[in-house]
Structure 1
Amino acid sequence: MDWMFEDFRTDLDLLDPIIKEKALDIANQLMKQGKLTEKEAITEAIKRAEEWFYDLEG
């Protein structure tokens, strides 16, 4: 089951679409691990997705 993260729509809507998609993928993976709350997962996912994107950009 993929998580929808409806309560975090504002945080996600501010992201570039590429970063947003990556953040949702990461957040879903983190939630499947079951170690983080939704808030912690989406916060960590946004951070990781932004780092991933900036690494791609050089």
Structure 2
Amino acid sequence: MTEGGAVLPWLVIRQDEGGNRYRVGRYATRAEAERVADRLETRGRQQLYVVEKADRAAT
């Protein structure tokens, strides 16, 4: 988003066992997105959380 809005180029994506991917959130920095992904992974669920840049994830 631009035009006075926040720029949130980093995505946290959850991928399930079937390969389905769901966007969990958008973040301003890679470090922030990685902290969120790490926190989600430690909750004990067997899910994969990845951090991707928004323009790369769209392709």
Question: Which TM-score band applies after superposition, normalised by the shorter structure?
Answer: 0.3 to 0.5
Q: Which has the higher strand share?
A: 2
| TM-score normalised according to structure 2 size | 0.33
Give 1 or 2 for the bigger CA radius of gyration: 2
Q: Which has the higher helix share?
A: 1
